[in-house]
Amino acid sequence: MNPGLQTAPGYVQTGALAEQRDRVLRNTYWLLALSMVPTVLGAWIGVSTGLAAAMSPGVSMMVFLVGAFGLMFAIEKTKNSAAGVPVLLAFTFFMGLMLSRIIGTVLGLSNGASLIMVAFAGTGAIFLGMASVSTIIKRDLSSMGKWLFIGAIMLLVAGIANFFIQSSALMITLMVLAIGIFSAFILVDLKRVRDGEETNYITATLGVYLSLYNVFQSLLALLGIFGGERD
């Protein structure tokens, strides 16, 4: 029997798996880019109407938590159907609306527009860096992902607690930690796609989007605190 024929099925399977991984990664990047459109639209509407700014901090936090987790639950339920992409885009529009509060505050600074561009460029640089590292790193990052998830939960709890404590030092510390944790999350999520562990591009897009959102928001807040100029 020809040895080549014995190994052929294995090569076909490997090739099919590689093609699937590439397709999921490609769709993730495309959907991630598309998700920026409703995010920007939501932020623009929020700033223009003052919708988010009109809410008190407490109401804004409740709306954010209920809306974000509700829509994420809906994404999970529809990720394997035709409704998955529209629901994800609705989620990113909502997140843009919620982001308008801090964007409006920063735009109130004399150098606010430039700070937003710096935060956007910094977030983009972090994404490109993590995406590049994900292509060359060989080790399994599953255990790292578990620790990062615990860190993210602790950040959320500490953030809610600080809403009542109102500590500037704690807020700044949480922002710095958020940049580190969610930058690492980008690496882990993209590596999972490349390793074939994540096969749903909607789920993959949601994970990377949330990390980028948190990195951008934290960077912008820090820039506003330390680099903001008032008239």
Q: DSSP of 103-159, one letter per residue?
A: HHHHHTSTTHHHHHHHHHHHHHHHHHHHHHHHHH--S--HHHHHHHHHHHHHHHHHH
Average pLDDT value for the chain: 89
What pLDDT was estimated at residue 6?
Answer: 43
Query: Region 7-33: what's the mean pLDDT?
Result: 75
Q: Which two tokens stand for residue 135?
A: 């292509």
Domain ranges, residue 34: 3-227
Go through 115-139 and write b for each residue having 16 or more CB atoms within 10 A of its CB, e for each that does not. Answer: bbeebeebbeebbeebbeebeeeee
What pLDDT was estimated at residue 15?
Answer: 67
Q: Does the pLDDT value for residue 3 go beyond 50?
A: no
What is residue 15's DSSP assignment?
H
Kindly tell me the burial class for residue 215, based on how many C-beta atoms sit within 10 Å of its own C-beta (0-12, 13-18, 19 or more).
buried
- For residue 76, how many other CB atoms are within 10 A of its CB? 15
What pLDDT was estimated at residue 8?
Answer: 41
Q: How confident is the model at residue 51 (pLDDT cuts 50, 70, 90)?
A: confident
Give the model confidence (pLDDT) of 72-124 as tens digits: 999 999 999 999 999 999 999 999 999 999 999 999 899 989 999 999 999 99
Query: Region 190-205: what's the mean pLDDT?
Result: 91
Distance between CA atoms of 125 and 127, rounded to whole angstroms?
A: 5
Q: Which two tokens stand for residue 168?
A: 């500037």
Nearest to 205 by CA among 24, 32, 30: 32
Number of domains observed in the structure of the chain? 1
Distance between CA atoms of 31 and 46, rounded to whole angstroms?
A: 23
Distance between CA atoms of 118 and 216, rounded to whole angstroms?
A: 10
Q: Which two tokens stand for residue 152?
A: 């993210």
Q: Which two tokens stand for residue 216?
A: 């951008």
